[in-house]
Amino acid sequence: MKIGKQSWRFENKVYIQETATSVGPLEAKGPLGKFFDVRYDEPYMGQKTWEQAEIQLIRGTLQTLFNKSGLHEKDICLALCGDLVNQLVPSHYAFREFNLPFLGMYGACATGIQSLLLSAVLVDSFQANHVIAGASSHTMTVERQFRNPVEYGGPKPETAQNTIMGAGLALVSRKPSPVRIESATAGIIVDAGQKNPNDMGSAMAPAAAQSLMQHLDDLGLNEDYYDMIVTGDLAKCGTPVFINILKQKGIEVEDIHSDCGNLIYSDKQKVFSGGSGAGCCPVVTFGYLCDLLKHQKVKRVLVLATGALLNPLIMQQKESIPCIAHAVALVSEAE
């Protein structure tokens, strides 16, 4: 049911029935490594190009989702997915091998949660059942497309983030599971005038704050309703900006806030300000946060995925960076 200006509350019990996650070697060695289903030990994932590697990342995750859920292509109503590569080529090439209705999604690093939001809305209204939602990213496809090929060895400032190698998919349905989707909020595009594409965390923080405030307002909640509010991905530079914007509005989230870009790597890993990429929030949410909910280590989590809606050409034209944040609330129904 639509509620307030930007939100939905799901009255008909919508669940994350199953999840599948795959990551690259750096993410596998990080503190959340054990929560991921597939861990590649080399970045080409057995393929010949970086794009084919990302296609394999998605293809393998989808096969894992089918294996774990026991479902087949014919059981799936719809797949909603995307990635950061131009024209969503990895998603399209991975999904062409499967006989599934497909709709391409794009919201930069918020793509996976945008897909999850729409899936929940469709399942809640009985317009679909068994919807696959998610997103992927691969460090190497993204570096050479948005910045420079990694092989050039160009330096990056400490405010930059490391795009993760990972794909996360969720199967959304009405079949009871320990993780229920309770509500969701679709973001508006917020441009705070930031022009530095090497500090996207700070650029995205105002959009994250806007969506959180609207979410609380639409649903009539206080921030302490949630045990965790998890942004994805503000990383080290964006996190204090987010906390401070909210503090000025009288909303204290510091004690319950985590960020996917901070969670996925340890402080010893060389990842500049932290992780990012369209795969980051999905693998952390579907791998780690769903595990916490399943084991009742937390009761209620708000995932607040952020996206920077730029491309390299528009940055060369001296534009600022519009950003967006979409929120999905997950609650534990574990017994």
**Of these, 26, 128, 169, 327, which contacts a copy of itself (CB under 8 A)?**
128
Q: Which residues contact 175 (CB under 8 A, 6 or more apart)?
A: 15, 17
DSSP class of residue 187? P
We find the least distance from the C-beta atom of residue 324 to a copy of itself, in angstroms, to be 7
Q: Which stretch binds a copy of itself (CB under 8 A): 19-27, 48-56, 175-183, 291-299?
A: 48-56
Is 150 a residue that touches a copy of itself (CB under 8 A)? no
Is 334 a residue that touches a copy of itself (CB under 8 A)? no
Give the binding-site size for a copy of itself (rule: CB under 8 A).
Answer: 62
Is 189 a residue that touches a copy of itself (CB under 8 A)? yes
We find the least distance from the C-beta atom of residue 95 to a copy of itself, in angstroms, to be 5
We find the least distance from the C-beta atom of residue 119 to a copy of itself, in angstroms, to be 11
The span from the CA of 108 to the CA of 66, in Å, is: 26
Is 124 a residue that touches a copy of itself (CB under 8 A)? yes
**Of these, 34, 46, 103, 224, which contacts a copy of itself (CB under 8 A)?**
103
Residue at 267: amino acid letter? D
We find the least distance from the C-beta atom of residue 87 to a copy of itself, in angstroms, to be 4
**Of these, 190, 212, 263, 305, which contacts a copy of itself (CB under 8 A)?**
190
We find the least distance from the C-beta atom of residue 219 to a copy of itself, in angstroms, to be 15
Burial profile 194-229: b = 16 or more Cβ within 10 angstroms, e = fewer: beebebbbbbbbbbbbbbbbbbbebbeeebeebbbb
| The two three-digit tokens of residue 50, written as one number | 């970086």
Q: Binding marks (x or -) toward a copy of itself, 68..87, rule CB under 8 A? A: ------x--xx---x-xxxx
Is 116 a residue that touches a copy of itself (CB under 8 A)? no
Q: Which of 332, 236, 262 is nearest to 293 (CA)?
A: 332
Pairing of strands 2-3, 7-23: antiparallel
The span from the CA of 2 to the CA of 186, in Å, is: 11
CB 204 within 8 A of CB 325: yes
**Of these, 49, 67, 244, 266, which contacts a copy of itself (CB under 8 A)?**
49
Name the residue nearer to a copy of itself (CB basis): 99 or 296: 99
CB 334 within 8 A of CB 178: yes
Is 160 a residue that touches a copy of itself (CB under 8 A)? no
The torsion of the CA quartet 19, 274, 135, 107, rounded to 10 degrees, works out to 130
Is 93 a residue that touches a copy of itself (CB under 8 A)? yes
User: Can you tell me which residue has the tokens 């079949």?
Assistant: 175
Is 217 a residue that touches a copy of itself (CB under 8 A)? no
The span from the CA of 309 to the CA of 168, in Å, is: 21
CB 268 within 8 A of CB 234: no
| Contact residues: a copy of itself, CB under 8 A | 1-2, 5-6, 8, 49, 51-52, 74, 77-78, 82, 84-89, 92-93, 95-96, 98-108, 114, 117-118, 121-122, 124-129, 145, 186-191, 309-314, 317, 319, 322, 324, 326
